[in-house]
A and B are shown apart, each in its own frame.
Chain A
């Protein structure tokens, strides 16, 4: 999907936390946001997605990840302990509910429900891009 529609400039991809598994998920989301403060949001995102044993879902695991990524550990630890991004995560949760999200993963294209398959999403984005281009041409012509 990234290659098909993001790299081609058709669309931007955005990940939003939607906490459904309680405190552990909440902590992982918080740690990711704290890593994002130091430019390592995607590194944490990937690490958590790939961590099948959920070893990094603990405080110690998150700090270990932060150490591996060369982050400022004092700043990172303070961020997770103080839950500095609590409000941001809460807003995401409220927005998700407002968008009708009830499970994960859920995709939206410009806020509208997306197809359930990646190929469907790609088709949907390409169709939307073509429609936008046609509209733009008709306005210009």
Chain B
């Protein structure tokens, strides 16, 4: 009899313990919800700040582009006819020197073409045929057993 009572008390004690622990469980849930909400908010904030940073960097790039365009030769002043004359004069003053540099660099390049051709001609003449027997349209040993013939048109 006493044993049964003891068992009942123990069972009751277990039930109480179970109830008390089950009551604790829901408590962390709001915390978790809060933390997840906080993390969402943090992510959103981070995303916002990223977007803000991106837009800033884009704005920065645009500003840089504007600055670069201002530094560009000739085209900038020509395209912006409505700008102040002084400003365009300042802008055109700098590009014109750059343009002159560009032209001075371009001129030798244009002149380099004939020079290059002459150089190639010289290589052909002195590099490949120098010291070789050349007779009109043939070059090399006249007694060579093998003759390579090229049929070609200059054009």
Residues in chain A within 8 A of chain B (CB atoms): 1-3, 5-7, 9-21, 24-25, 28-29, 32, 36, 41-43, 45-52, 54, 57, 96, 99, 101, 104-111, 114, 121, 125, 128-129, 132
Give bound CA distance, A96 to B107, whole Å: 44
Complex contact A2–B139 (CB within 8 A): yes
Q: Assuming A42-B125, A50-B120, is B152 touching A15 (CB within 8 A)?
A: yes
Give bound CA distance, A88 to B121, whole Å: 26
- Across-interface contacts of A19 in B (CB, < 8 A): 153
- Across-interface contacts of A52 in B (CB, < 8 A): 117
Give bound CA distance, A109 to B153, whole Å: 18
**Chain A CB within 10 Å, residue with most, of B132, B141, B146:** B146
Complex contact A28–B154 (CB within 8 A): yes
- Across-interface contacts of B67 in A (CB, < 8 A): none
A68 to nearest B CB, angstroms?
11
Give bound CA distance, A79 to B95, whole Å: 56
Residues in chain B within 8 A of chain A (CB atoms): 117, 120-121, 124-125, 128-129, 131-132, 134, 136-142, 144-155
Closest to B155 in A: A21
| Residue from A5, A57, A132 in contact with B148 in the complex, judged by beta carbons closer than 8 Å | A5
- Across-interface contacts of A20 in B (CB, < 8 A): 153
- Across-interface contacts of A2 in B (CB, < 8 A): 128-129, 132, 139-140
Q: Assuming A28-B155, A42-B139, is B148 touching A129 (CB within 8 A)?
A: no
Complex contact A50–B148 (CB within 8 A): no
Complex contact B132–A7 (CB within 8 A): yes
Q: Assuming A6-B132, A12-B138, A50-B117, is B154 touching A110 (CB within 8 A)?
A: no
Complex contact A15–B153 (CB within 8 A): no
Q: Assuming A2-B129, A9-B141, A13-B139, is B151 touching A114 (CB within 8 A)?
A: no
Complex contact B125–A109 (CB within 8 A): no
Q: Assuming A2-B129, A21-B155, is B148 touching A36 (CB within 8 A)?
A: no
Complex contact B139–A47 (CB within 8 A): no
- Across-interface contacts of A36 in B (CB, < 8 A): 136-137
Complex contact A6–B140 (CB within 8 A): yes
| Residue from A42, A49, A109 in contact with B147 in the complex, judged by beta carbons closer than 8 Å | A109
| Residue from B121, B124, B141, B153 in contact with A21 in the complex, judged by beta carbons closer than 8 Å | B153
Q: Assuming A6-B140, A42-B139, A50-B120, is B151 touching A110 (CB within 8 A)?
A: no
- Across-interface contacts of B121 in A (CB, < 8 A): 46-47, 50
Q: Assuming A10-B146, A11-B148, A14-B148, is B153 touching A46 (CB within 8 A)?
A: no
